[in-house]
Amino acid sequence: MRIYLIGYMGSGKSTLGKMLAKYAGMQFIDMDHYIEKRNCKTVPRLFAEEGEEAFRNKERKALHELSEMNDVVIATGGGAPCFFDNMDVMNRTGKTVYLNISPKILAERLLNSKTDRPLIRGKTEEELIQFIDESLKNRNAFYLKAHDQITDPDTALEDIITMLNQDTSH
Ligand code: S3P
């Protein structure tokens, strides 16, 4: 089994991914960390030194490698589903779950996060909400192709597991 957690920055993919993997006895992989290890550079450095396009190519390569691993929960980077045919690759090779969280909550979480995210660096709360709103207009076209979605940020792990077990066709 292979589960891909997708969604905007700050939607809780890694937090949920770790819990799910632990519960199901599966391996957890954070796609950004995987890319950093493979390239011996942090994501911010990849963006700064090689640019976003190069990062997206590396992200695509990482996805193809990860799509061959078994019994794994993968927290994808927020932009990963929105480039190339990545979303189709994920839908074909595993179960995709979209963490669909409101821009207001995302902005609050991102402002309190210690992770350096090049795309939103230095933005105020208002700027951030507007930026998230705008990018979700484009990104939702990809995110909404997921097999399942979670819209309540307080959904209990047991309910998520029930949802995943209900549809075993992926
Ligand atoms: C990005 C999200 C980040 C990381 C990069 C770009 C995006 O991952 O891949 O900074 O385009 O949304 P997280 O969603 O884990 O923060």
Please determine, for residue 65, whether its predicted confidence score (pLDDT) is greater than 70.
yes
**Distance from the CA of 153 to the center of ligand 1, in angstroms?**
19
Residues 46-55: tens digit of each pLDDT: 999 999 999 9
pLDDT at 87: 98
**Distance from the CA of 71 to the center of ligand 1, in angstroms?**
23
Q: What is the DSSP string of 132-158?
A: HHHHHHHHHHHHTTSSEEE--TT--HH
Provide CB contacts within 8 A for 102, sequence distance 6+. none
* Nearest residue to 47 (alpha-carbon basis) of 71, 24, 70, 77: 77
Please determine, for residue 169, whether its predicted confidence score (pLDDT) is greater than 80.
no
pLDDT at 154: 92
Domain annotation for the chain: domains and CATH numbers: 2-159 (3.40.50.300)
Give residue 166's pLDDT band: very low, low, confident or very high (50, 70, 90): confident
pLDDT at 48: 97
Q: Is 79 in the pocket of ligand 1 (CB under 6 A)?
A: yes
Q: What is the DSSP string of 89-131?
A: HHHHHSEEEEE---HHHHHHHHHH--S--GGGTT--HHHHHHH
pLDDT at 168: 65
User: Which residue's alpha carbon is nearest to atom 8 within ligand 1?
Assistant: 77
Q: Is 43 in the pocket of ligand 1 (CB under 6 A)?
A: yes
**Distance from the CA of 158 to the center of ligand 1, in angstroms?**
27
Give residue 170's pLDDT band: very low, low, confident or very high (50, 70, 90): confident
Amino acid at 137: K
Residues 30-49: tens digit of each pLDDT: 999 999 999 999 999 999 99
**Distance from the CA of 79 to the center of ligand 1, in angstroms?**
6
Please determine, for residue 167, whether its predicted confidence score (pLDDT) is greater than 90.
no
Closest atom, ligand 1, to C-alpha of 11: 14
Residues 120-133: tens digit of each pLDDT: 999 999 999 999 99
pTM value is: 0.96
Provide CB contacts within 8 A for 52, sequence distance 6+. none
Tokens of 72: 């794994």
Average confidence score pLDDT of the chain: 96
Q: Is 9 in the pocket of ligand 1 (CB under 6 A)?
A: yes
